Amino acid sequence: MIPVRGYDGHKVGVLGLGRSGLATARALRAGGAVPVCWDDSPDARQKAEAEGFETADLNRDASWEGMVALIASPGIPHLYPAPHPIIDRALRLGVAVDNDIGLFFRSFATDDWAELDSVPRVIAVTGSNGKSTTTALIHHCLKAAGIPSQMAGNIGRGVLDLDKPGDGEVVVLELSSYQTELARALAPDIAIFLNLSPDHLDRHGGMGGYFAAKARLFTQGGPERSIIGVDQPEGRFLANQMREVAGNGDPVIRISNTQQIKDGWTVFARKGFIAEWRRGRQVASIDMRAMVTLPGAHNHQNACAAYAALRAVGMGPRQIEEGFASYPGLAHRSQLVAERGGVRFVNDSKATNADAAEKALLAFDRVRWIAGGKPKEGGIAALRPHFGRVAKAYLIGEAAEEFAATLGGTPHEICHDMATAVARAAADAEPGDVVLLAPACASFDQYRSFEVRGDHFVELVHALG
């Protein structure tokens, strides 16, 4: 646990008592604060009370007496499309609003670090797609090289639930826009921006607000090293902002999977290889073509970002290559589930929007595509240029009819549910095909999360016999 500093003896509200909320309450109490907790769910309140936490209805004025801060869980809106009533009350009362990420960064470093040979460092990863894979890949490579590491944030543990870091340890955080937007303190040693595609726009008031939320990790966080994907205008702008005034590019490592960049410190993917260039010359390259757990250009971008971060903490190219080769893959992200009779079954249930599904489709040449669920704005219209890769689509959930209309003459079948889709795709598949779950939809019409959806796909594949 990371005890929260700065609130000793003070009353602090905790809004939302899920995984991060309860971890926040524990860390506040460990640091001497007096947490007062609230969640709309009676079950969540009961769980907090069982751990000895005080609960109080923060919708009532009396609960706010003496409160100095309100810590909100990331899923609770604080500005757009409208502030949660309790957060709005805090804003009206002048009570500081923060989240667990802000508490983590203000509490991570401690006085006893002066006794360490090498102080702990934080790598923070943000972007629209690929955050989880990049975070997990960095963490895996560090562990494989014998470097102590912990992983948290939007993946794994809550940030305040981490163990106290030791000498030379590296903490790797996946941070969503929800987390970076509200945090009052951001101080990563190394920050990564992967890419930007439309998502959560109602929460951020449009693309400008969405980009601004992610950019705070850099512009407010002031990392020693910024690793920035420059295949989009937003990334190029951010990289320019983080360069030193004199034009020295060393604080920024630019990454790309669409272009060769050979000035400054760069890492780019081309024709299945990752190349590192510094000061106008190539210093290393890695052959990614045989790495089955990192397929496709989108995973090569993730690998570029991970490679740059690992180089920034002092790992050598060959160490990194060995880590990539032993990476087992991350569940629900281009996860190779099985191979039967020359047919591969791949679980990319995390592909919850069209942009992520596009990256999954581009990773394979001939796809039996399982898609659908609770549709998002725009559907799959943007994927029309890639329908030629689809041998046949098997459509499930609320989006099935809409997706069928968009697919037009591309072979497709409305299957309604996952079991039917897997059975039909497996029966139709030929050697060389990939049966790919890349829904381009949220899961909430049929599953409580994309993880449960992916687990069901894996279960059905293994049951094929």
What are the binding residues for ATP? 127-133
Annotated binding site: 127-133
| Contact call for residues 403 and 372 (beta carbons, < 8 A) | yes
| Contact call for residues 99 and 149 (beta carbons, < 8 A) | no
Helical residues (DSSP H) of 342-417, grouped into ranges: 354-362, 400-407
Alpha-carbon distance of 429 to 464, in angstroms, equals: 13
Contacts of 421 (CB under 8 A, 6+ apart): 370, 394, 395, 396, 415
Alpha-carbon distance of 138 to 391, in angstroms, equals: 35
Residue matched to tokens 């510094």: 278
H/E run at residue 201: helix 201-204
Coil, helix or strand at residue 266? strand
| Contact call for residues 193 and 236 (beta carbons, < 8 A) | no
Cβ neighbours, 10 Å, residue 296: 18
| Contact call for residues 178 and 203 (beta carbons, < 8 A) | yes
Helical residues (DSSP H) of 31-160, grouped into ranges: 42-50, 85-93, 100-107, 131-144
Residue matched to tokens 């409160």: 67
Cβ neighbours, 10 Å, residue 178: 22
| Order of strands across the sheet that contains 281-287 | 149-153, 170-174, 121-126, 190-193, 225-229, 252-256, 265-270, 273-278, 281-287
| Contact call for residues 320 and 141 (beta carbons, < 8 A) | yes
Alpha-carbon distance of 77 to 99, in angstroms, equals: 12
Strand pairing partners for 392? Answer: 368
- Counting DSSP H helices and E strands in the chain, the numbers are 15, 20
Alpha-carbon distance of 418 to 399, in angstroms, equals: 13
